Amino acid sequence: MTLTSDAPASTDPARPLKQVHLAAHFPGVNNTTVWRDSNAASQIDFSSFKHFARNAEKGKFDFLFLAEGLRVREHKGLIHDLDVVGRPNTLAVLAGIAAVTEHIGLVGTLSTTFNEPYELARQLASLDQLSQGRAGWNIVTTHDAFHGENFRRGAFLDKADRYTRAEEFVAVARQLWDAWAPDALLADKTTGEFLAENAVRLVDHHGPQFDVTGFGTLPRSPQGRPVIVQAGDSADGRDFASRTAEVIFSRHATFDDGQKFYRDVKGRLKDIGRHRDSLKILPAATFILGDTEAEARERSREIALLQVSPQTAIAFLEQVWGTDLSGYDPDGPLPEIDPVSTDQGVTRGRVRHDSDPAAIARGWRALAEAEGLSIRDLVIRFAANHTFVGTPVQVAETINRHVQEDASDGFVIVGNTNPTGLDEFVDTVIPELQERGVYRTDYKPGATLRQTLGLPV
Amino acid sequence: MTARFHLGIGLDGAGWHPAAWREAGARPTELLDLAYWVDLVQIAQAAGVDLVTFEDAFGLQSSGFGGVDDRRDEVRGRLDALLLATAVAPHTSRIGLVPTVTTTHTEPFHVGTATATLDYVSEGWGGWRVQVSGRAHEALHVGRRSIPPLDPAAVAAGTDPAQTALLEQLFGEAADTVEVARRLWDSWEDDAVIRDVPTGRFIDRDKLHYIDFSGDHFTVKGPSITPRPPQGQPVVYVLAHQKVPYELATRSADIVGITPRDDAHLSQILTELADAAATVDRTAPDPLRVWTEAVVLIEDSTAAATAALARLDKAHGSTYTSDTVILAGTAATVAAQLLDWHARGIHGVRLRPARLPADLVHIVDEVIPVLAEAGVLDRPADADSLRARLELGRPANRYATTDADAAPTDSVASTSPADLAHHDLIGSARS
């Protein structure tokens, strides 16, 4: 997108400045994460997580964010080998990070399909206790047979039921999180009462997806219960999020699209009687910084070439064409052949957007011909399109404009190098936001994630 | 050289006696605070303890084996042990962290990646105490399996075929879960990440392997999402009291914890372990280590220890019983028992402090110096992992396709003297 630093945020003078909320996305297992960079370290070793988390905490981010993958991705029937591969277990590594941070929220992506509510609620409650109220849960509803092959029940869930299950899952989890009375723990050595009377309520849930009867094993955490994050984008997903989520991790990072999405979701909140501030909308955003805008653009091109290697460019096209294109020159024109229709796609283990491959191919060919783009150039356009490219001042002003004009409540910032990819952002963009009075200069002492996000307790 | 004797401490709540939380030194309001656990583990680490375990279950604590009771005078509420151990890990550097993880209702894939991640966060000091859930009410937490109430007496006696069948089913599932975890840990070869710029490849896909596990309870395709953990295979601990669990231990564990009441019982257990080993195909790396387990309560005199135990029992309103021996006495008598076990060829002990932190401090300050004096605590000076500390070696990767990977990177030393009753156990376990 084009950045302009000369357009100040147009705000209603009667309305106080909104505060920007930021999340730090640990670089994921996709082509955005550059591993060819000399700074790129292990995405598994704990030292990387420690650096990443402490840097984000230095930048006073609301929370750090971990994606999840429950199966190694495949491409053309083989394990995909061009991107970073491998992650630690989400919950376990967050527990480790809790021990080396004090203030930052810890949000993990966890499936409602390949987990059970009793166990996952307990694990999240444990993380919430260990972090003194800083846990969050990004709910995903992956349901396909490919992932199911790693789990007890396999491909048991119809796509149509994934949000039904997710909603019932969250309802059970909430009952378990709320099952202990606020003053349940007495631990009175003199009277010998460890628990108060009627301290723990039995959860007895019976629904289409779950039959759960039992006692939760932990009291309420300092923030009551973990913060719920959701990324669904379909109509069902938006409805689910507006009923259930407290943060939406959205795809709508451009200004106009962001405003439209923001209006839509906040409107849904009003329809169901939720306060508009009880749900924060944070689109994912990548960034490239430079001392001048020209330098940033040059770096953007350099990084894009690292993110889209010749091999990655061909593999990207193969996802749409559904067939082997290894004979094509990445620096040459797009294939003249039409896509092959397949039932399940050539790449498995990543989110697919259901569209018509033939139409996409026609559009891409037209674009490439009109602008003289090679295969690699075209793929860069789609797979390495950096959200914010500019000077720290420009990026800060753009973020602020999006927030003040209700295109978002902030962003999930995605760096491109692990684990130092957010260092420069923290050192240069954060001070600009702070100077504008729209971003915290420190955490509130003892604040929970819910408090840091300004959510109702 | 005198064989080494290894030391583990079993951590649970305010200690293993149900009234321990009422003792003057207890910290019952801190049991859900990370800082409390870090304090305890650091005390153990400073004294050179080899590992600590963290108790857990698939449900709320209860005084009996039946459903959750309505007692209000015992500790209730517990952190997930694997997450607790992983949160402790950044605060420690040279002590094994061995959480209890249930196999009955959990996902083997998640168990495999979580234990691997503990090993990464602890930089090679991770382990796993395998536990089954035979409680009918815990099955209702998931609601897709009906487990009939287990009768501990009938199980122990082995007289009820239905109960024995249930036990075999639960422990068979546990063995499958350990097998899945072990295959997942190996499903990436150590040198799978190549970062090869000319070919654009981050990994060598030929060094990632499908595990294709298929058993009675689940199938798991693999490979893991988590690369091979630092130890290759984190340490697996199985507490076992009878034939069926002995078979799990001899097949799947690195360490089996046994619970002898006395010397005669110890001999009987070792015979039963050897019998179990003869009937299973061992799938764990060799050797199998045999540790005893004991609850310990230590005071300056035997009379004071007896009085302390009586005080706790009175506070609780009943006489404390355990699945294993209760050593309530002086540090000298506890140390003498441990040295006696060591002399009988036992490789180590898991001590369960009756009171925390009091009895942990007594063990550290008073028992460990006696063992050190006896020369049984020498450790490899350069041990940089739990396996290295226990001289278990770093196992070869079962899927390795190159010579460098196929050979163990460390030699496996057995500390068991040849003339001991259980040597045959280890020998047969190897075949």
Per-residue CA distances from B78 to A358, B71, B142, B356 (Å): 55, 16, 19, 15
Residues A343, A266 share a domain: no
Residues A229, A160 share a domain: yes
The CA-to-CA distance between both ends of chain A, in Å, stands at 37
Residues A321, A278 share a domain: no
Give the residue numbers spanning the domain of A359. 309-383
Distance CA B119, CA B82 (A): 11
Stretch B346-354: mean pLDDT, rounded? 98
Tell me the CATH number at A130.
3.20.20.30
pLDDT tens per residue, range B151-203: 878 887 878 898 899 999 999 999 999 999 999 999 999 999 999 999 999 99
Residues A335, A227 share a domain: no
Residues A173, A81 share a domain: yes
Distance CA A234, CA A236 (A): 5
pTM: 0.95
Give the residue numbers spanning the domain of B305. 6-430
Mapping DSSP to helix (H, G, I), strand (E, B) and coil, where does residue B246 land? helix
pLDDT of residue B353: 98
pLDDT of residue A351: 57
pLDDT tens per residue, range B316-332: 999 999 999 999 999 99
Provide ipTM, 2 decimals.
0.95
Distance CA A205, CA A178 (A): 14
Stretch B340-357: mean pLDDT, rounded? 98
Q: Which of residues 385-414 of B touch A (CB under 8 A)?
A: none
Tell me the CATH number at B190.
3.20.20.30
CB A55 within 8 A of CB A425: no
pLDDT of residue A343: 60
Using a CB-CB cut-off of 8 Å, the residues of chain A touching B18 are none
Residue type, B89: A
CB B410 within 8 A of CB B393: yes
Domain end call among A362, A383, A404: A383
Burial B19-32 (b: 16+ CB within 10 A, else e): bbbbbeebbbeebb
pLDDT of residue B157: 81
B402 has pLDDT over 80: no
Q: Which of residues 175-214 of B touch A (CB under 8 A)?
A: 188, 193, 195, 197, 199-205, 208
In a domain? residue A7: no
Residues A370, A286 share a domain: no
Residues A222, A206 share a domain: yes
pLDDT tens per residue, range B59-94: 999 987 778 888 999 999 999 999 999 999 999 999
Question: Which of B423 and A122 is assigned the larger pLDDT?
Answer: A122
A325-330 contacts, C-beta under 8 A, 24 or more apart: A328/A375, A329/A374, A329/A375, A330/A374, A330/A375, A330/A376
Residues A234, A127 share a domain: yes
Residues A392, A377 share a domain: no
pLDDT tens per residue, range B271-303: 999 999 999 999 999 999 999 999 999 999 999
Domain end call among A383, A403, A436: A383
Q: Which of residues 362-381 of A touch B (CB under 8 A)?
A: none
In a domain? residue B256: yes
pLDDT of residue A344: 61
Ranges under pLDDT 70 in chain A: 1-13, 342-345, 350-354
Number of domains in chain A: 2
Distance CA A335, CA A358 (A): 12
Rg of chain B over all Cα atoms, to the nearest angstrom: 21
Per-residue CA distances from A420 to A54, A105, A301 (Å): 11, 19, 19
Residue type, A273: G
pLDDT of residue A457: 77
Using a CB-CB cut-off of 8 Å, the residues of chain B touching A185 are 29, 77
Number of domains in chain B: 1
Does the CB of A312 have a partner CB in chain B at under 8 Å?
yes
CB A287 within 8 A of CB A425: yes
Q: Which residue of B79, B188, B219 is in closest CB contact with A129?
A: B79
Question: Which of B416 and B117 is assigned the larger pLDDT?
Answer: B117
Domain end call among A354, A383, A412: A383
CA-nearest residue to A46 within chain B is: B121
In a domain? residue A12: no
Residues A73, A53 share a domain: yes
Using a CB-CB cut-off of 8 Å, the residues of chain A touching B72 are 193-197, 199
Q: Are strands B51-54 and B6-11 parallel, antiparallel or unpaired?
A: parallel
Burial B121-141 (b: 16+ CB within 10 A, else e): bbbbbbbbbbbbbbbebbbbb
In a domain? residue B1: no
- Phi–psi pair at A68, nearest 5 degrees: -140, 145
pLDDT of residue A159: 87
Stretch B328-357: mean pLDDT, rounded? 98
Of chain B, the percentage scoring pLDDT greater than 90 comes to 84
The DSSP output letter for B230 is T
Residue type, B27: R
**C-alpha dihedral over A235, A237, A241, A245, to 10 degrees?**
-170
In a domain? residue B296: yes
Residues A336, A211 share a domain: no
pLDDT tens per residue, range A427-445: 999 999 999 999 999 999 9
In a domain? residue B94: yes
Other CB atoms within a 10 A radius of the CB of residue A302 amount to 12
pLDDT of residue B430: 31
Q: Which residue of B23, B24, B203 is in closest CB contact with A85?
A: B203
Residues A356, A379 share a domain: yes
Distance CA B308, CA B410 (A): 46
